[in-house]
């Protein structure tokens, strides 16, 4: 991430066109009966004169269900990684999904984004009875900046509410690896040399405890924006505290590719979250 956070992420027009064609093609599949409904722009917080919202995916099956708080990427400053595909995959698997927005940098500095994600999680817990959610079976999933934020909000399990499992893809785990990054500077508001303690406090690797929930990490093999060793940093921090962790390398992909075309990783991640839910159910 000398590169991530050393320059803006650019997605080629060809990739955008291809992604759009795939989305249209999937939506046009015949005979596909809706397995869930979506409530768009559901407000979870009023702050600074604005309403922070999320899209709520509600499976049509009856009974108490698990849930996942989904957090988008975009370098903390936009919503380019909007997480719609992942939210649909989770909803089809029977999870209630809340795909939340948060206040963006550089207008809003750390820890604003973490506070918003934590408040979205609190909203999900508070509304668990309303949406038939089992509050002990709420997980989190983020990609890129979203992975950073869901880890920051969910690793500390000493305070409620907490997550029973976290999926993090393309994770910026140790922000001090990119001292000259304009994106990290935009998030923190100060250079590393002037605010090293803040940069370290804003890094998920420094928030792992023995009580942290199990984590599933995935990363693109050829990621030049958030280098693959960031997954190793996060894995080692979790293992040092004996926190269960699984990893998955998305072969032959970079940062954008591991977000758009990580079907194998996403299937493994859904199975990971489902296993967490099975463990909770068995303990009841």
Query: Domain for residue 16, yes or no?
Result: no
C-alpha–C-alpha distance, residues 67 and 70, integer Å: 10
Whether residue 263 is predicted with pLDDT greater than 80 in this model: the reply is yes
CA max distance for the chain = 59
- Residue 21: per-residue pLDDT: 36
Query: Domain for residue 57, yes or no?
Result: yes
pLDDT band for 279, please (50, 70, 90 cuts).
Answer: low
- Residue 68: per-residue pLDDT: 98
What domain range includes position 186?
Answer: 33-283
Query: Domain for residue 236, yes or no?
Result: yes
Query: Domain for residue 150, yes or no?
Result: yes
Mean predicted confidence (pLDDT) in 83-91:
97
- Residue 156: per-residue pLDDT: 84
pLDDT digits (tens, 9 = 90+) for 57-66: 999 999 999 9
Query: Domain for residue 199, yes or no?
Result: yes
Helix, strand, coil abundance in the chain, percent, nearest 5: 40, 20, 40
Q: pTM score, two decimals? A: 0.88
C-alpha–C-alpha distance, residues 51 and 59, integer Å: 25
Question: Do the beta carbons of residue 266 and residue 89 sit within 8 Å?
Answer: yes
Q: What integer best gives the mean pLDDT of the chain? A: 89
Phi and psi at 71, nearest 5°, equal -130, 125
Share of the chain above pLDDT 90, in %: 81
Query: Domain for residue 27, yes or no?
Result: no
pLDDT digits (tens, 9 = 90+) for 101-134: 999 999 999 999 999 999 999 999 999 999 999 9
Query: Domain for residue 52, yes or no?
Result: yes
**CA distances, 152 to each of 113, 155, 162, 209 (Å):** 10, 6, 12, 12
pLDDT digits (tens, 9 = 90+) for 184-217: 999 999 999 999 999 999 999 999 999 999 999 9
Question: How many domains is the chain built from?
Answer: 1
Query: Domain for residue 8, yes or no?
Result: no
CATH number where 227 lies? 3.40.50.1820
């Amino acid at each position: 991430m000398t590169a991530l956070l050393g320059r803006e992420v650019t997605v080629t027009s060809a990739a955008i066109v291809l992604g759009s064609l795939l989305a249209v093609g999937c939506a046009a599949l015949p005979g596909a009966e809706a397995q869930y409904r979506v409530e768009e722009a559901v407000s979870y917080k009023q702050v600074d004169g604005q309403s922070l919202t999320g899209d709520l995916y509600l499976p049509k099956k009856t009974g108490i269900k698990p849930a996942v708080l989904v957090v988008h990427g975009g370098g903390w400053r936009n919503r380019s990684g909007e997480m719609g595909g992942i939210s649909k995959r989770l909803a089809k698997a029977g999870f209630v999904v809340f795909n939340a927005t948060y206040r963006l940098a550089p207008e809003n500095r750390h820890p604003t984004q973490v506070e918003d994600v934590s408040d979205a999680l609190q909203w999900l817990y508070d509304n668990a009875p309303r949406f038939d959610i089992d509050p002990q079976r709420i997980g989190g999933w983020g990609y890129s900046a979203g992975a950073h934020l869901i880890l920051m909000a969910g690793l500390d399990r000493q305070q409620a509410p907490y997550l029973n499992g976290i999926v993090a893809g393309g994770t910026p785990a140790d922000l001090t690896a990119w001292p000259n990054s304009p994106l990290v500077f935009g998030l923190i508001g100060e250079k590393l040399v002037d605010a090293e303690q803040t940069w370290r406090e804003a890094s998920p690797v420094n928030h792992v405890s023995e009580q942290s929930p199990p984590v599933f990490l995935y990363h693109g093999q050829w990621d030049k924006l958030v280098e693959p060793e960031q997954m190793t940093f996060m894995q080692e921090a979790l293992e040092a505290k004996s926190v269960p962790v699984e990893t998955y390398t998305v072969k032959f992909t970079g940062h954008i590719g591991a977000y758009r075309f990580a079907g194998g990783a996403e299937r493994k991640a859904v199975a990971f979250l489902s296993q967490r839910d099975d463990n909770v159910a068995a303990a009841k």
